[in-house]
A and B are shown apart, each in its own frame.
Chain A
Amino acid sequence: MENCSHPVHPDIESDMWEKIDQVIEKWKGIPGSLITVLRESQSVVGYLPGTLLKYVSKELNLPISQVFGVATFYSFFSLKPKGRHTIRICTGTACYVKGSKELMLSAYNKYGIEEGDTTEHRRFSLECVRCLGACGLAPVMIVDKDIHGDMTSQKVVDVLEECR
C-alpha cells in the first residue's frame, strides 16, 4: 500500500503503518476480530492514537463509535502515550494486604506520579494491575516484563532509579 494513503501522525512511522496494514489484512472480514486488531496495532505503535482508531474503523468498515467504544472499554488499551518503561504495581488482594498501597505512595513521594501518569520526558508510566496471580511474591511490582517480588517502599525507589 502507498504511504500517501496513510494519515499523518508524529508517533506512527511509515514502517509502522505497513505492519498495521498487515494486521488489518490478516483479520479483515473475520467476525469478532476488532479486539485482536486493536491489540496488535497497539503493540506496533505503543498506544492507540485517535488517528489510528479512525483508520482501523475505516479499513474494517466498522462505525468509529464501536471502535472507540471497544478501545476505551478494555483496560489493556491506552489512548495516551506511554513511557519508555511501564511500571505496574499489583493491587490484587494479596498484594494489597501486604502493602501495595505503600508502594504507590512511595512512587508518588519520589516522582510525583499516580496511577495512569507518565513522568516527564516519558521515562516511565505507572499503572495498577489487578492481580497477576503471583500472590506468593506479594507485594509485586512489574517493570516492563520483569517481576519484582516482596517489594518495600525503599525497593520501589531502588528499582525505579535503574530505569532510564
Chain B
Amino acid sequence: MNETRIQLMLCGGEGCSAAGSEKVKTALSDEIKKHGLENDIEIIIEECNGFCAIGPVMTVQPEGVFYQEITPEDAAELIEEHLINGHPVERLLYKEPASEDGIPELDNIPFFKPQVFRVMRNKGLIDPEIIDEYIARDGYFGAAKALTEMTPEQIVDEMLESGLRGRGGAGFPTGLKWKFAMGAKSDEKYVLCNADEGDPGAFMDRTVLESDPHAVLEGMIIAAKAINSHKGYIYCRSEYPLAIKRLTIAINQANDYGLLGKDILGSGFDFDIEIYQGAGAFVCGEETALMRSIEGKRGMPRPRPPFPANQGLWEKPTILNNVETLANVAQIILKGGAWYASIGTNTSKGTKVFALSGDITNIGLVEVPMGTSLRTIVYDIGGGIPNKRKFKAVQLGGPSGGCVPEAYLDTPVDYEEIAKVGAIMGSGGAIVMDDRTCMVDMARYFMDFIQDESCGKCTPCREGTKRILTILENICEGKGKPGDIEELEEITHVVGQSALCGLGQTASNPVLATLRYFRDEYEAHIYRKECPARTCIALLKFEVDPEKCKKCGACFKGCPAEAITWKKKEVAFIDRNKCIKCMSCYANCRFGAIM
C-alpha cells in the first residue's frame, strides 16, 4: 500500500460508473500530475458507496469530506481549492434539502447519520481485491481466534449470545442452526453460503460480495470450525459476474496466505471453499433446492424433516447461511456476542442492510440498527418521494413479502414487528412506491414472477399460483367480476397452508397484503372498471381531462400513431380509433390530464 497523505475515494459502483466516474478519475489524475502531487494524493476507486442517487460521489480521506455529482470539469477546482489551498468546494458538497446548506462531513449527512456500518464496515475503505487491506482492518483476526483459541462449543455459544438471526429473510437463529449441525454425527459436513440473491429489488448481497468478499470467507471458516466441516460452497448467481470474479480472487489470495486449505494458521484445521454458479432459478434460494442444484440436479425443494443440519448436501449434515449473515460472524467472534447484541430490539439484534429503490430520492444501500423505524429509512435516509408525489407503500421482502402503507410506517425494523403488519423482514429489498403505482397490478406482477418461478413439484403452488394469477390478470384487464376477491382469499389461504416449501407458502403474501390495505383498489377495478393509479391499460379511457390539460402539446408530440390532435392554446383530443394504447401520452403528460 502507498503511504500517501491524502486519498480520494471515488465511487466506482454501478450507479456512479454510469454517471461517469471513470472520466472524473482521468480528469483528477491529470490535475494531480499537473501539480506534481502524485506522491501526496492517491485516487482509489471504491466499491458502491451506497448513495447512488447523487453520483459520481467522492470522499476525501482522512478528512471525510464528501462530494457529490462531480464532473470532469470540476477536477481542477477540487485539486486547487481543496487539496492545495485547503478550502472544500462548497458547491459540490451534499446539500441539506431543507436549508440548502452544504454539509462537508460524510457522517453528518442525513443519508448516513442514522446508519451504523457493521456488515458494510469496509465498504469503500478497502480494495476488495487486495487481502492485505482486509487484514489491516482486523480481517481474519476472528477466524484466527476461532481456530486457535476456541472450541466449537464456545463459537456456538458466542453466536447464540449475539442473537444473530438469518438475514436471508426467515430469521432463524444462526447459532441454533450451527448447534444442530455441530451435534450431527458424520464423517463429512458442509458449509454453504447462499449468494443466490434472487429477490427482485434486492442487491445487498451483491454489494457485500463485491466490496468485502473476505468477510464472507472468514465467516465460513468460523462456521466450518464450529461444525467441523472441511468443505464449503458459495452458491452465487451467474447474473453477478463481478461478485464471482472478486470471490475467486479472494479465495486464491486466502489460499496463498494459508487462510484456506490445509492446516490453516498452523491450527491443524483444513477447509476449502469452492464457488458454484447458479443457472437462474429463483427457487434455488430455498435451502433444500439449492443443495439439489449443487448436486447438479433440477433445483426442487424436498420436504423437511430431515433438516439439512442432519441431511443436507449429498445427504450429509450441512449448514446454509446467507451472505449478510456470514459477513457479521467474524466481528461477533472478535468483539463478542454481547457487543453484537448491544444494539437492536428484544428479539432482533444488530443491524440490517436494505436496498432502497423505486420511487425514492436517495436510491442506494443502507444499513440501520434493528429498531429503526421504516419512516426514518424512507424519509430521513431515503429523502422521501421525488417529484412531489405522495408515498403509497413500501414493499419489503420481495415476492414473499408484503407492502407497508403510510399508516404503519412507524413500524420498527424487527422480524416480529414487521410480520405483524403483514410484510416480512425478507432479505432486505425495500421498494418504495408512489401514488402512481397500482397495487392490483403490483400483486399481479409478483404472482407472475412466482408462477413463473414455481418449480412445479407440488400441486398447491403450481396450480394455485396459476389460478391466482389468472384472476388478477382478469381484474387488471377489466374482466373482474363479483366474487373474485373472495376467491382470491380462499386460494391464497389454501396455497399458504399446503405448499411444500417456503416459496409456495409465502407466495400469496403480496396478494394478502395488498388486499389488506388496498381492498378499495381491487373494488374499483372490479365494480367500477377503474384503475385509480392509471396503470392498467385496459381500464384507461384515453381521454383528455379538459380541466387538467395545460394545452402544452407534450402528448401530441410524443404520439407515434398520430392519434392526437392539438393546436396551440387548445385542449388536446385523442382519436380513439387511431390510438394504439402505447401509453406514451401518459408518460409525457406532466399534469395527469389523460384519463
* A interface list, Cβ under 8 A from B: 31-36, 38-39, 66, 69-70, 73-77, 91-94, 96-99, 102, 105-106, 109, 129-138, 147, 149, 152-153
Contact = CB atoms under 8 A, between A and B. Distances in A.
Contact of A75 (B281, B293, B296, B429): B281
9 contacts: A34-B296, A35-B296, A97-B358, A99-B587, A129-B239, A131-B201, A132-B239, A135-B431, A136-B52
A59 B29 CA distance: 54
Given A102-B587, A137-B15, A32 B295 contact: yes
B296 A33 contact: yes
Contact of A109 (B299, B363, B582): B582
Given A74-B280, A93-B201, A149 B18 contact: yes
A106 B297 CA distance: 38
Nearest to A27: B296
A90 to B, nearest CB: 8
Contacts of B240: 133
Interface of B: 14-15, 18, 52-53, 197-203, 206-207, 238-240, 277-282, 293-299, 314, 355, 357-359, 363-364, 395, 398, 429, 431, 433, 437, 442, 445-446, 449, 453, 455, 560, 580, 582-584, 587
A135 B201 contact: yes
A78 B52 CA distance: 34
A92 to B, nearest CB: 3
Given A130-B198, A137-B15, A97 B431 contact: yes
A39 B277 contact: yes
Contacts of B202: 131, 133
A133 B295 CA distance: 27
A76 B279 contact: yes
Contacts of B200: 91-94, 96, 130-131
B449 A32 contact: no
Q: Which 8 A-B pairs have the closest CB atoms?
A: A133-B203, A136-B52, A92-B200, A74-B279, A135-B357, A93-B201, A75-B280, A131-B200
Contact of A138 (B278, B357, B398, B437): B357
Contacts of A153: 582, 584, 587
A27 B507 CA distance: 37
A39 to B, nearest CB: 6
Contacts of A135: 201, 203, 355, 357-358, 363, 431
A132 B199 CA distance: 10
A73 B488 CA distance: 28
Contacts of A31: 295-296, 314
B359 A97 contact: yes
A79 B552 CA distance: 50
A97 B435 CA distance: 11
Q: Which of A33, A75, A152 has the most CB of B within 10 A?
A: A75
Given A97-B359, A133-B207, 5 more contacts: A35-B296, A92-B200, A105-B583, A135-B201, A137-B14
Contacts of A134: 14-15, 203
Nearest to B293: A35
B197 A73 contact: no
A94 B358 contact: yes
Given A73-B281, A152-B587, A109 B238 contact: no
Contacts of A97: 358-359, 431, 433, 437, 442
Contact of B429 (A35, A93, A105): A93
B236 to A, nearest CB: 12
A137 B203 contact: no
Contact of B445 (A34, A76, A96, A152): A96
Given A33-B296, A97-B359, A153-B584, A92 B14 contact: no
Contacts of B278: 74, 76
A93 B398 contact: yes
A93 B358 contact: yes
A160 B201 CA distance: 25
Contacts of A132: 239
A48 B201 CA distance: 30
Nearest to B233: A32
A73 B298 contact: yes
Contacts of B239: 129, 132-133
A79 B305 CA distance: 36
A130 B197 CA distance: 10
B363 A76 contact: no
A136 B299 contact: no
Contacts of A102: 583, 587
Max chain A Cβ within 10 angstroms of own Cβ: one of B200, B207, B455: B200
